[in-house]
Amino acid sequence: MTVALLSLHQVAFSYPKSDADALEDITFDIRAGTVTAIIGPNGAGKSTLLHIILGRHIPKRGRVLLRGAPLDAYSRRTLSRTLGLVPQREHVPFDYRIIEYVLLGRTPHLGFLATPRAEDLEQARAALHSLGLDALADRTVTSLSGGEHQLALIARTLAQAPQIILLDEPTSHLDLANKKRVLRIMRSLADQGMTVIYTTHDPESAAAIADRVVLMRDGRVLRHGPLQEIFNAANLSQTYGTELEVAQVGGTNVILLNL
């Protein structure tokens, strides 16, 4: 039997000074080269779960396995080279040029206090080029629109050359054109062999690109599995706590509020 790329087994987590579990009994697998959408309403625990997968939060119970080995069996540098995060929001302390901003993604590949090499700069330029962002290279971070900034964040993570890319609500603040562009990029990355894991409160984005879905509510996984098996009105209504319908339009699932 093929070992899952990532496995979570009965994971529970609570924040310091909190009596309640932020996550409880989280169990599911992530398969290589797929898009997995972690779906749920605000406060479901989706972002916390990403930080568990990254090894930034330590479960109080349960295990997270990467290629069958616990996360703590890997060095921090190895994890940083394997797992890349596109955050939901980020404070940028300096007004970097975009090429400099993307070059920060090479940090896990550099020695302590080492300066980027020519090959690192080439990786950063290649990441920008792969997203069609060559024209942004000499612009500054503060000059970017919301959509451009999101693409620059993705480029920075691609420069990191991870095998697994995690995106926290990557389309939540984007207009429709940029949302479509980002979703297409995510699908393309998986088609090229990268493993894509992302959180969203928008189930329609999952309907467009996901292979597998994880439905969350109140820190628990309600359902997980292939999109075709999990994505239905009953499961989504339970996840969001309101009555929803799923319709097919042009071969794509569309979510309808039942008013």
| pLDDT value for 2 | 55
Give the span between the Cα atoms of 51 and 165, in whole angstroms: 12
Give 255's contacts (C-beta < 8 A, 6+ positions apart). Answer: 203, 204, 207, 236, 244, 245, 246
Of the candidates 128, 159, 160, 130, the residue with the CA atom closest to the CA atom of residue 144? 128
Report the sign of the C-alpha dihedral through residues 97, 101, 106, 110, in that order. positive
Give the span between the Cα atoms of 165 and 245, in whole angstroms: 31
Give the span between the Cα atoms of 174 and 40, in whole angstroms: 18
Q: How many CA atoms lie within 13 A of 206 on its CB side?
A: 29
Q: Give pLDDT tens digits along the chain (259 positions).
A: 456 899 999 999 999 988 889 999 999 999 999 999 999 999 999 999 999 999 999 999 999 999 999 999 999 999 999 999 999 877 787 899 999 999 999 999 987 777 889 999 999 999 999 999 999 999 999 999 988 999 999 999 999 999 999 999 999 888 899 899 999 999 999 999 999 999 999 999 999 999 999 999 999 999 999 999 999 999 999 999 999 988 887 777 788 887 7
Domains and CATH numbers, the chain: 6-257 (3.40.50.300)
| 8 A C-beta contact, residue 190 and residue 165 | no
Give the span between the Cα atoms of 61 and 10, in whole angstroms: 7
Report the sign of the C-alpha dihedral through residues 121, 125, 128, 134, in that order. positive
CA 29: distance to chain centroid?
A: 15
Give the pTM: 0.92
